[in-house]
Amino acid sequence: MQEDVRALVKAIQGVRGPRRDRAIASLFKIGERVGSQYDVAAACLSLRQRGDLSLAEISEYTAAALKYWSAIEARVEPLQQAGPDTEWMLEDEYLEPRAEAEVVLDLLGYLDMDGVRSVLERAIHLADPRLKCFTVVSLLRLQQVVDPDEIERVAESHEMRMTFMNLLRELDMHWLMPEPWSRPDLLAASDLVHWASHPNELGVPPEEIELMQIFLVGDEGEEPEEVYLFRFREYPRPWAPGEGWMAGIAGPVRDGRRQGSPWSSFKQWDSMTPEEHFEKLYYRGSCCG
């Protein structure tokens, strides 16, 4: 089924006229089938983001997208939990519908049709900051007013803060980022958390992260910039050395934009001094033995 969707996406991007219209109709038809809804929603999102599918062309798909969201909402809504604990978002039963929900909520911002706004206005009350982030951005894309408290709840999330800032920039609305959360060190912390969450790295967002030291870097004659050394962990581990704290760096961050890549070798925090951690991480182990 994925091959069929990819072939139709290529046809939509590569042709005009009746052949393109047939490809679009075929893509939407596949999107009505259970088991292929995610692939089609992701394809439609990509096509809309690239400008390869107009609002008029995708209007026929809106009802199917809303129906798909209704099924996802029935799975994610009962699993929402208030409070600072985030482990529930990493449970196997939640991860799959969460990934689907993110795509559909993002897509709905490109579907300015009846029923979309009311769905997003309900979805914004989901506790998961990731789903809240894409809901907020979709409402803003549809030129809707968003409660500042909901924006605050996204911005305070380490997992979503930098992503949220980048999405606001795409909309030319970065001024909506609450000032307390737009500090370079807090954006850098979010950048490191996002990097560590990748399946090729830690695989989950660190539950705790702390700024430990700031280092100034830069070539001679240039204004130095700040690189931030953090320690982070998935959750407290009293049985592990240093309770599971690891070292990582991020930054510089200038004008709310990433200037350097976050990184960690996942070394235990108390295995070296802060200065040694920084040298190893910033120069990727090329110095200090």
pLDDT digits (tens, 9 = 90+) for 250-289: 999 988 888 888 999 999 999 999 999 999 999 874 444 3
Q: Give me the pLDDT at residue 287, please.
A: 41
Average pLDDT of the segment spanning 125-134: 97
Q: Cis omega (within 30 of 0) on the bond before 252?
A: yes
Closest C-alpha to 161, from 176, 146, 172:
176
Residue at 171: amino acid letter: L
Question: What are the residues facing 209 on neighbouring strands?
Answer: 232
Q: Is residue 270 within 8 Å of 241, Cβ to Cβ?
A: yes
pLDDT digits (tens, 9 = 90+) for 49-76: 999 999 999 999 999 999 999 999 999 9
pLDDT digits (tens, 9 = 90+) for 21-35: 999 999 999 988 888
Distance of alpha carbon 199 from alpha carbon 270, whole angstroms: 25
Distance of alpha carbon 150 from alpha carbon 135, whole angstroms: 10
* Cβ partners under 8 Å of residue 24, min gap 6: 8, 12, 53, 57
Does the pLDDT at position 219 exceed 80?
Answer: no
Structure confidence at residue 241 as a pLDDT band (50, 70, 90) = low
Residue at 52: amino acid letter: D
- pTM for this predicted structure: 0.89
Structure confidence at residue 238 as a pLDDT band (50, 70, 90) = low
Sheet holding 225-233, edge to edge: 208-217, 225-233, 246-250
Strands 246-250 and 208-217: unpaired
Question: What are the residues facing 216 on neighbouring strands?
Answer: 226
Q: Give me the pLDDT at residue 281, please.
A: 95
The per-residue DSSP string of 38-50 comes to HHHHHHHHHHHHH
For Cα atoms 115, 119, 125, give the angle at the middle one, nearest 5 degrees. Answer: 160
Q: Give me the pLDDT at residue 159, please.
A: 93
Distance of alpha carbon 90 from alpha carbon 227, whole angstroms: 30
Average pLDDT of the segment spanning 121-136: 97
Does the pLDDT at position 210 exceed 70?
Answer: yes
Q: Give me the pLDDT at residue 137, please.
A: 98
Distance of alpha carbon 252 from alpha carbon 224, whole angstroms: 10
75 is written with which tokens? 């799975």
Distance of alpha carbon 33 from alpha carbon 38, whole angstroms: 10
141 is written with which tokens? 């894309």
Q: Domain spans of the chain?
A: 2-146, 181-282
Distance of alpha carbon 48 from alpha carbon 126, whole angstroms: 25
Residue 246: strand, helix, or coil: strand
Average pLDDT of the segment spanning 38-46: 95
